[in-house]
A and B are shown apart, each in its own frame.
Chain A
Amino acid sequence: METDREVDAASLAAFRALFGLLMAGAAVRFWAKGWIGALYVEPAFHFTYWGFDWIRPLPGWGMYAVFAGLIVTALAVALGLLYRWAIALFFVLFTYVELLDQATYLNHYYLVSLLALLMCFMPLGRSFSVDARGQGALRAPRWCLWTLRAQLGLVYVLAGIAKLNADWLIEAEPLSTWLAARSDLPGLGALATIDGFAHLMSWGGAVFDLTVPFALLHRRTRPFAYAGVVGFHLVTGVMFQLGMFPWIMALLTPIFFSPSWPRRLWASLPRGAPRPSRPLPRWGAWALACWFAIQLALPLRHHAYPGQLLWTEEGLRWSWHVMIVEKSGHLELTARDRATGERWPIDPSEDLTFAQRRMMATSPDMLLRYAAHVRERWAARGRDVAVHADAWVAMNGRRSAPLVDPEIDLAAQPDDLAPRAWVTRRPAP
């Protein structure tokens, strides 16, 4: 079935179908839990991303229409129905939703956007699909398989590299705190009380992330590696309530298996005459090279910033620092009239939800955005105000410490990508 350029299309078709079904399920779950209204319709203020300030939620029913569109397009992707249109529209809608509010950022949703964008350029609707009507190509370009493998592999490896720090390896934090908090779970809870278990989990987690993509590629290690994937995501999913994340990783990692793996489950899958696919054009190869260069540079950009990444959060997003920090914060905001010097407290509960406030309390990025919003709000009432924050954060088993300089006017700080002098560089010792 395989040539130098092509592979059996079965595993790529399974990937497409599983991706579509997972995404449809995720969107239905989101709707059923009432999160569309709670996260995108009800909040009066949204923490937009740098460079994406122009992205705003649609009013009222509009966001429900977006999610209906997500469900329909995800199902169309699963079926391979009008595949190119479906995956392109899915990518646009999903990424639009993800860019609405920093407070809802999740690493695995970022991964979904990346995979969807890559899939826009892949001929995954040519096989085992409604579009193909049984006449489809049974081979797919090899680059598609390896691109998806590389993208998923990068997530694991970079997440593993992110764990190579003193908190994780020496203090076993935040796992130690988390395991103590879940010690009453049936079965798993008993393990959590074993002395040294947090360290074992920490080291094991780092080794797992760093090696699992390679172990999945080799036939001899694959069964153990995949059992590890399922077990790891099952345990972490139960202990830490990770929503769709364990499902996404467990159901998409079979892309590392032999390209024909679905045939072992369904022997009746058609094996008819293949239709050759177009080779990857030269520009495509360059585009892929650029893509992966960015995929390496973006997660590692935090090395260009001084201080401790998990504390300052400069370069944290899009960097696969998955589940390695426990932070809680307390924030008091004060407005100061620049003309009179009069001061008064700002109550963020007037326009932020509880979850947004809790996220902002530990995130300098979000603080800056909200300070600008406060300044604009008061400017509309004819007052020129400065905004100060007394923000204290406790992180990974340490006592709380100030996150920002309380004397600095946050509303006057530039909103750019440079290191922020007003953010303290490290947590309490």
Chain B
Amino acid sequence: MKKVAVLALLLASCDAEPAYDRATMLESLSDVVAVPAYRAFDAEAETLAGATGALCEAPSEETLGAARDAWRGARTAFKRTEAFGFGPAMERRIDGAVDFWPTRVTNIELAIRDAGPFEPAWFESAGTSVKGLPALEYLLFDPAHTDAELLARLGEEPRRCAYVAGLGGHVAAQASLLVEAWQPGYRDMLVTDDPHASVSLMINHLIAVLEDVKLNRLSKPLGLDGAAPDPEAVESPYAGHDVAGMLATLRGVRDAWTGDRGGVEGIGLDDYVASRDPELAADVTRRLDDVVGLTEAIDPPLRDRITEGRTNEAEQLHQALRETQRLFAADVAMTLAVTVTFTDNDGD
């Protein structure tokens, strides 16, 4: 008994450092970064739905231009949410419905010819290869046709026209679903359920996003995967939105790391890591700034730079992504004890 009392006294005499408040960090990340990012996508997707509807009603240079601008806006906004894609976007397979690529042109043309009617219910049940932003990109930007030809096809083919309008509406519906799922449901679950598990989920997802950019959007088109360079393997080959898409994704990763967005300062993963290892937190921030800067330095579209053999900046970005991914997967993961035991909850 005496020993227990002595131990209790010893413990009581020690200073207690306040634990890093991960719930507050997750709350801030949700409210300052994730939910506003999904709201921004929702707004852009609404604009896209309106623009594709207007294009179908009155195909013209103006409405085509507006639809293309709206498509770029929606895609940029969606890519900026990818850092939070572990939530409802993945669980409800919305990410596939919005952004499945590479584009399957044959499937899309077959759907236009044989399927329909292109009501919301049809898009709900349709496979991912015939819907989402990449399908719409093909129909709005297909470089095999001039603008006049694209407009003529829309005017002369009511099914094609309805398909374009339906695609825009479906993307908007998915965006609304994401906003509804995040607030309050998923946001609250993320904050309150198990903060450590939430942080693990986030870190693992950020590593996967960096891997996706490095491997699928850079290695393959640049020919760093052992095959010959393939300009057509870039993401978004029709609209030439390859660099813009990568930039939005990587800015989204930086948002999730810093917890800041749109001029609003929040609490991010960097603050949490800094509470354990300030030097590491600063290293990762610096590296993410480099990655964003290197992406901005690529003269878009990447497809053309690969064709010309001017890929120096893209290769530098590839190398910087490797090093950033390493920092996350080894150093950050160890510092926050984000490890995976052989199953989800077993280890010794």
Of A108, A241, A244, A330, which contacts B330 at CB under 8 A?
A330
Among A65-73, A116-124, A281-289, A338-346, the stretch that binds chain B is A338-346
Give the segment of A184-192, A250-258, A272-280 that binds chain B.
Answer: A184-192
Q: Looking at the assembled complex, report how far the CB atom of B73 sits from the nearest CB atom of chain A, in whole angstroms.
A: 33
Q: Is the pair A177, B337 in contact by a Cβ cutoff of 8 Å?
A: yes
Which of A322, A342, A359, A399 is close to B348, meaning CB atoms less than 8 Å apart?
A322
Contact B19 A184 (CB under 8 A): yes
Produce 1/0 per residue, B28-41, CB < 8 A to A: 00000000000000
Judged by a CB distance under 8 angstroms, whether A270 is at the interface is no
B340 near A355 with CB under 8 A, answer yes
- Which residues does chain B contribute within 8 Å of A39, judged by CB atoms? 342-343
Residues of B within 8 A of A344 (CB): 225-227
How near does chain A come to B19, taking the closest CB pair, in angstroms? 3
Among candidates A180, A197, A392, residue contacting B14 with C-beta atoms closer than 8 Å: A197
Residue B114 at the A interface, CB < 8 A?
no
Q: How far is the CB of B233 from chain A (nearest CB, A)?
A: 15
Question: Are A326 and B334 in contact, with the CB atoms below 8 A?
Answer: yes
**Among A193, A322, A343, which residue has its beta carbon within 8 angstroms of that of B16?**
A193
B218 to chain A, nearest CB (A): 12
Do B331 and A400 have beta carbons less than 8 Å apart?
yes
Asked whether any CB of chain A lies closer than 8 Å to the CB of B202, the reply is no
Interface: B149 (CB within 8 A): no
B326 contacts A392, C-beta separation under 8 Å: yes
Residues of B within 8 A of A426 (CB): none
Complexed CA–CA distance, A327 and B325 (Å):
16
Complex interface bits, B1-33 against A, C-beta within 8 A gives 1, otherwise 0? 000000000110011111110110000000000
What residues on A are CB-neighbors of B17 within 8 Å? 193-195
Q: Which of A197, A323, A400 has the most CB of B within 10 A?
A: A400
Q: A184 touching B23 by the CB < 8 A rule? A: yes
Whether B107 sits at the interface, judged by CB under 8 Å, is: no
Chain B 297-347 residues near chain A, CB threshold 8 A: 322, 325-331, 333-343, 345-347
B11, A197: Cβ atoms under 8 Å?
yes
Report Cα–Cα, A326/B219, bound state, in Å: 31
Residue A28 at the B interface, CB < 8 A?
Answer: no
Interface: A292 (CB within 8 A)? no
In the complex, chain A residues whose CB is within 8 Å of the CB of B224: 345
**A132 interface hit (Cβ, 8 Å):** no
Q: Is B287 an interface residue (CB 8 A)?
A: no
Contact B226 A345 (CB under 8 A): yes
Interface presence of A260 (CB below 8 A) = no
A328 adjacent to chain B (CB < 8 Å): yes
- CB contact list, A10-53 vs B, under 8 A: 33, 35, 38-39
- For residue B339, which residues in chain A have a CB less than 8 angstroms away from its CB? 326-328, 358
A328, B16: Cβ atoms closer than 8 Å: no
Instruction: Across the interface, name the chain B residue whose C-beta is closest to A102.
Output: B342
A347 lies within 8 A of B196 (CB): no
Q: Give the residues in chain A near B201, CB-CB below 8 Å.
A: none
Contact in complex: B11, A194 (CB < 8 Å): yes
Q: Does B195 contact A (CB under 8 A)?
A: yes
Asked if B20 contacts A241 (CB within 8 A), the reply is no
- The 9 lowest CB-CB distance pairs between A and B, nearest first, are A344-B226, A183-B19, A243-B346, A328-B333, A330-B329, A181-B337, A394-B334, A400-B330, A328-B334
16 contacts between A and B (CB under 8 A): A180-B337, A193-B17, A200-B11, A241-B346, A241-B347, A242-B348, A243-B343, A326-B339, A328-B331, A328-B333, A330-B330, A355-B342, A392-B326, A394-B334, A395-B334, A397-B335
